[in-house]
């Protein structure tokens, strides 16, 4: 039998999706992958154009004028496009491949799971972006994470960035992954949960480490060298 993959329909009915994947052939999945990818890319670009996380570029305009600022904005836009592609590709292809090696579940089934993971991550970013638009400013930490609480308790940037990666959406993703993986493997559910928590914690540590790098300062210096040398 053949069933048509519908992203929103199966988002709220995962059990039906699992049953269909077990007994039928899926159709129109690639179209939904492209749709999610394009919408995600548009979200990242819209955030960039709105000015989210582009505070470092203000210094270029203040000290060097309009032309270097324009170049900086274009470079930042290109950078965010590259980052968006890498971000979505990693969570879709990379994590699906890793889980395939760990659980030996078919990669095609895990790709479906990770498409929903990417969708949830983008939904989190979209909701946060809407909140920022409504209040007219952005913050370096997510309102859905432990980042704001960590900023009160800790002074070290790494710890703040680390807890900022742990959100209520992370818990939702882990719950979805556990339920999905359990349906296609005989692995111990507790072991599955521990593996998934470990993966998310490692990703949080890596992201936090990148977040502590002086990327803004490097970016401004790069633009200044490219403009005046």
Summarised one tens digit per residue, pLDDT across range 46-86 is 988 887 765 566 555 555 556 666 777 777 788 888 889 99
Max alpha carbon distance in the chain (Å)?
65
93: pLDDT strictly greater than 50 = yes
Q: What's the CA gap between 124 and 131, in Å, rounded?
A: 11
**Rounded average pLDDT over 187-204:** 93
Can you say whether the dihedral through the CA atoms of 159, 165, 171, 174 is positive or negative? negative
- Residue 226 pLDDT > 80, yes or no? no
- In the prediction, which pLDDT does 155 show? 85
Structure confidence by residue, pLDDT tens digits, 125-152: 999 999 989 988 778 788 899 988 888 9
Residue-range domain boundaries for the chain:
2-228
Residue 228 — pLDDT band, cuts 50, 70, 90?
very low
Helix axes 29-50, 107-135, angle to 10 degrees: 30
Higher pLDDT, 217 or 144: 144
List beta partners, residue 63: none
pLDDT tens figures, 171-188:
999 999 999 999 999 899
Q: What is the per-residue pLDDT for 201? A: 94
pLDDT class for 22, splitting at 50, 70, 90?
Answer: confident
């Amino acid at each position: 039998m053949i069933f048509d993959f519908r992203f929103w329909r199966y988002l709220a009915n995962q059990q039906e999706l699992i049953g269909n994947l077990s007994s039928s052939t899926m159709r129109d999945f690639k179209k939904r992958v492209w749709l999610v990818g394009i919408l995600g890319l548009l979200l990242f670009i819209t955030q960039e154009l709105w000015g989210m996380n582009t505070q470092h570029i203000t210094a270029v305009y203040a000290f060097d004028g309009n032309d270097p600022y324009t170049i900086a904005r274009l470079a930042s836009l290109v950078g965010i496009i590259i980052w968006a592609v890498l971000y979505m590709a990693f969570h879709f292809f990379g994590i699906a491949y890793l889980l395939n090696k760990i659980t030996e579940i078919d990669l095609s089934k895990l790709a479906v799971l990770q498409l929903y993971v990417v969708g949830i991550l983008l939904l989190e970013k979209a909701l946060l972006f809407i909140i920022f638009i409504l209040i007219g400013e952005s913050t370096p930490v997510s309102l859905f994470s432990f980042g704001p609480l960590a900023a009160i308790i800790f002074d070290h940037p790494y710890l703040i960035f680390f807890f900022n990666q742990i959100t209520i959406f992370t818990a939702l993703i882990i719950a979805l992954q556990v339920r999905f993986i359990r349906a296609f493997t005989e692995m111990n559910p507790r072991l599955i949960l521990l593996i998934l928590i470990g993966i998310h914690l490692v990703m949080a540590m890596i992201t936090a480490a990148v977040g502590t790098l002086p990327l803004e300062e490097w970016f401004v210096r790069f633009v200044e060298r490219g403009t005046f040398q």
